Amino acid sequence: MEIPLWEIVNVDQTLVQNKIWEIINNTIAQKILLVLICVSLFWKMIRYMCGLLHQEKEPVTVLVTGAAGQIGYALVAMIARGAMLGPNQPVILHMLDIEPAAEALKGVKMELMDAALPLLRGIVASTDVAEACKGVNIAVMLGGFPRKEGMERKDVMSKNVSIYKAQASALEKHAAADCKVLVVANPANTNALILKEFAPSIPDKNITCLTRLDHNRALAQISERTKVHITDVKNVIIWGNHSSTQYPDVNHATVQEKPVREVVGDDEWLNNDFIATVQQRGAAIIKARKLSSALSAASSACDHIRDWVLGTPKGSWVSMGVYSDGSYDIQPGLIYSFPVTCEKGEWSIVQGLEIDAFSREKMDKTAQELIEEKELAKSCLH
């Protein structure tokens, strides 16, 4: 019996259609499978990246000398809260003070423990300089001998030479090889120079002193005068010594991207009262509160280290007391405050700024004071 042609054609068409649907279904299934695989891989990548972001960093060990004092008491809490190294950087605090302050130091340690600070991974409170300096990555030197009534400059310098010689030797022997040092205790510039002398293995660029407090004071004065937020004031400079001879310079500073001199419109104030106010601010605070600057000094120390380690914002510079390389005709070998930018843990002196005759005189005057302090320190050593 013959099968009609039209039935054969229908059967073939049905087979073809079934085959086509089979192919289409297989293709769709393959695409769906491929999409699911891609989504799965993408999700795994996201989880991996999130894991990297939340991966805990190794703790940084920070030494604070004179930790039981006013500045130290304010500073250690700021460090432990992330104000110095950022909100994701765990820290181990090493606190050093003299034997008569041992009980007060113990009390500071107790308070740090009671604060239950998440970033704080360990505390060492000691009167032993070798123990305190062991393995430190950052050292903030607050401890020093203050000048007392009736004391000659040489007497004060002699005391500080002895202190910084001992602490420098301990850092030389026990600190991490890449240890960064910030000297705060006065005379800060020359104390830093003494420390450098007795810790020769610490690179010159790793020993600095604090002039960020003066820098911040200058920003605050301009902010108040121009009635703008302090973040709108940029690129003031503190040249020279952390003393009453320092030179707060606004010739390259801006307020909301406009030159400070143009915005203020009062050169008489900028060249006289402004400079004197910044130079004498520490004395004014002592007169007002009967104690020296502590909160602002601690905050400025955090600012100094944070910008040094994490970098300065693009287009901005800060002031740091650093080892002079002869820039701006400042005698090499002094610890002198310059405008600097920081990147990847390294500072660089800002070059090419125009220096007028007024600024030159002020810069040379404060440099001369540092030269005299250096000679006085040498005479104490001998």
Please enumerate, by residue number, every residue annotated as part of a binding site for NAD(+): 66-72, 97, 160, 184-186
CB 205 within 8 A of CB 347: yes
Select which of 242, 252, 304, 382 is catalytic. Answer: 242
List binding-site positions for substrate.
147, 153, 186, 217
Instruction: Report how far residue 182's alpha carbon sits from residue 328's, in angstroms, rounded to the nearest whole number.
Output: 23
Convert 242-268 to b/e letters by CB count within 10 Å (16 or more is b): bbebbbbbbbbbbbeeeebeebbeeee
Please state, in angstroms and as integers, the Cα–Cα distance from residue 26 to each residue in 31, 109, 117, 221, following that order: 9, 69, 58, 75
Angle between helical axes of 188-198 and 357-381 (0-180°, round to 10): 50
- Three-class SS state of 238: strand
Nearest Cα neighbor of 124 from 137, 108, 138 is 108
Instruction: Report how far residue 183's alpha carbon sits from residue 142's, in angstroms, rounded to the nearest whole number.
Output: 7
- Residue owning tokens 């703790």: 59
Instruction: Report how far residue 42's alpha carbon sits from residue 36's, in angstroms, rounded to the nearest whole number.
Output: 10
Pairing between strand 258-259 and 207-209?
A: unpaired
- Judge whether 242 counts as a catalytic residue: yes
List binding-site positions.
66-72, 97, 147, 153, 160, 184-186, 217
Q: What share of the chain is helix, strand, coil (3-state, %, to 5)?
A: 55, 15, 30
CA quadruple 313, 319, 323, 327: dihedral sign: positive
Residue numbers annotated as active site: 242
